[in-house]
Amino acid sequence: MPPMTADTILALARSFWECRVLLTAAELDLFTLLTPEPVTAAKVAQRLNGDECAVAILLDALAAMELLKKTAGRYHCAPDIALHLSADSPQSVLPMVLHSAGLWRRWSELTGIVRGDRAARARAQAPQDEAGLRAFIGAMHVVSGPRAAGIVAAIGPGRARALLDVGGGPGTYTIAFLKAAPHLRATLFDRPTVVEMARALLAEAGLLERVTLAGGDFDHDELPPGHDLALVSAIIHQNSPAQNVELYGKVGRALVPGGRLVIRDHIMSPDRLDPRDGALFAVNMLAATPGGNVYTYDEIRAGLTQAGFGGVRLLQRGGGMVGLVEAFKPAD
């Protein structure tokens, strides 16, 4: 890593400039608007009912960042960018960018949160509206989709016949498991609104008949019983250690004797510095949740042991929330 200098520190302090330009463009859906054909700033301002001078400044910044092309006073989103940022593209990461725009508002309260300002914490942790929830669930699918098959291969469904996908979101991992193991059936458990989003994706994948959709809240409700494999994916970072022990207990009651639990999340090094994205994600949880954090393998193992699991083992670590830990419910 190169040494820190005054210039690199100042560049880091200003790094939010380009981020904010991208987030604003996403919130205005400019990449979708500018994909079909080149358009002038005046026309864009007219369509947005915005200020023409302000729109032109924003469009020029996007063009300088090479997110748009500017030719003869007209702006256009090139195909390689539209592939990732137009709402009309099936490969778009726009939902994740919009989710990041929501995080921007939470992170803006970080200084107050660290100072112990309860009002700042309350503002940061205000419940998401329906649009925010849909953006978050869509973002989960966009990010997890390309790597789900690799995660499932690392887990190895083995001889499991009944999967419980706890907080399964849009069904990304349920789909990957069912494709990898034709003998497997699944129960996807999540909030009713999210379950309906998963229903559409499972139907599109031709897998809906192999899935039971169960609406509920794992913070308050018991989980459907009778499973020999459970996945708790990208959940434990939302919880305090005590909340995770309670969740593990619910998963244990939903598993048959000898059943297997697999956790996917950031798995931190003992000093909590590696992976770097995990250390930064802990700040995200500080801003977004009352007690969430990222955890080391030893911390996860301790919670699982307290909840009655055995055979705890680290399957893999790494950046990008690909850490995997498995544990087993004792056999009768």
pLDDT in tens, 108-139: 999 999 999 999 999 998 877 777 777 777 77
pTM comes to 0.92
Expressed as residue numbers, the domain containing 195 is 137-328
Q: How many domains does the chain have?
A: 3
Per the domain annotation, does 1 fall within a domain? no
Query: Can you list the positions of beta strands (E) in the chain?
Result: 39-40, 69-71, 74-76, 162-166, 185-190, 211-215, 227-233, 255-265, 267-268, 295-296, 310-316, 323-328
Per the domain annotation, does 132 fall within a domain? no
Do 38 and 145 fall into the same domain? no
Q: Which residues in the chain show pLDDT less than 70?
A: 1
Do 230 and 110 fall into the same domain? no
Do 191 and 277 fall into the same domain? yes
pLDDT for the residue numbered 325: 98
Do 110 and 146 fall into the same domain? no
pLDDT for the residue numbered 145: 83
Within 10 angstroms of residue 15's Cβ, the number of other Cβ atoms is 9
Do 113 and 204 fall into the same domain? no
Do 20 and 115 fall into the same domain? no
CA dihedral 181, 182, 187, 189 (to 10 degrees): 50
Do 214 and 287 fall into the same domain? yes
Long-range contacts of 63-66 (CB under 8 A, 24+ apart): 65/18, 65/21, 65/22
Do 76 and 162 fall into the same domain? no
pLDDT for the residue numbered 146: 85
Per the domain annotation, does 147 fall within a domain? yes
Instruction: Using DSSP bridges, classify how beta strands 162-166 and 185-190 pair: parallel, antiparallel or unpaired.
Output: parallel
Do 295 and 188 fall into the same domain? yes
Indicate which CATH number applies to the domain containing 306: 3.40.50.150
